[in-house]
């Protein structure tokens, strides 16, 4: 009886911890590592322009002209999106966190400027196994907004 109660208490604690801290622990593998973004894990909750697995692969963002202007465009796109927090901006790197509306789950989205004319992207969920396509949809939305700003501001 005591062991059943202990298991139930442990289960409750884990559920409360996950519910109350749904942002998860920030990953330690963000940032550029030897001029690359971290690889996606084996789980299907990550997409990357550098992924070797086809189901996780997305195309890099393309731009023409100056990388500094492209970075400004990308930052404006990100700032115009909902539930985003820009964590870090470096010369050739941007890290943003997107929080889900319902439970506040956090996805880490990273951009690495890989001149000439390419921005490598990685979007990964911190928790869970599947993301139901959320990271791929987010990357597609960023791509569409980025393209639209390029057309408006050649």
Does the residue 9 lie in any domain? Answer: no
Q: What is the pLDDT of residues 118-136, one digit of tens each?
A: 999 999 999 989 999 999 9
> What b/e readout covers 44-69, taking b as 16+ CB neighbours within 10 angstroms?
bbbbbbbbeeeebebebbebeeebee
Distance CA 117, CA 114 (A): 7
pTM of the complete model: 0.79
pLDDT band for 20, please (50, 70, 90 cuts).
very low
When divided into structural domains, the chain yields a total of: 1
Q: Could you tell me the residue range of the domain that residue 29 belongs to?
A: 23-152
Alpha carbon of residue 3 to chain centroid: 40
Q: What is the pLDDT of residues 36-79, one digit of tens each?
A: 899 999 999 999 999 999 999 999 999 999 999 999 999 999 99
The position carrying tokens 């990685």 is: 122
Does the residue 6 lie in any domain? Answer: no
CATH number of the domain encompassing residue 72? 3.30.310.80
Does the residue 56 lie in any domain? Answer: yes
Q: What is the pLDDT of residues 69-91, one digit of tens each?
A: 999 999 999 999 999 999 999 99
The length of the chain in residues reads 154
Does the residue 13 lie in any domain? Answer: no
């Amino acid at each position: 009886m005591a062991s059943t109660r202990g298991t139930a208490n442990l289960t409750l604690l884990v559920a409360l911890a996950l519910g109350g801290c749904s942002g998860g622990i920030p990953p330690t593998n963000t940032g550029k590592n030897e001029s690359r973004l971290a690889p996606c894990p084996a789980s299907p909750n990550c997409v990357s322009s550098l992924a070797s697995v086809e189901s996780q692969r997305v195309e890099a963002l393309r731009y023409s002209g100056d990388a500094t202007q492209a970075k400004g465009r990308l930052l404006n796109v990100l700032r115009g999106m909902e539930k985003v927090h820009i964590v870090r901006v470096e010369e050739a790197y941007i890290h943003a966190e997107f929080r889900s509306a319902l439970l506040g789950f956090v996805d880490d989205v990273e951009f690495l400027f890989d001149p000439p004319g390419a921005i490598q992207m990685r979007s990964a969920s911190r928790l869970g196994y599947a993301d139901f396509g959320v990271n791929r949809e987010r990357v597609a939305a960023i791509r569409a907004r980025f393209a639209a700003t390029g057309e408006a501001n050649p």
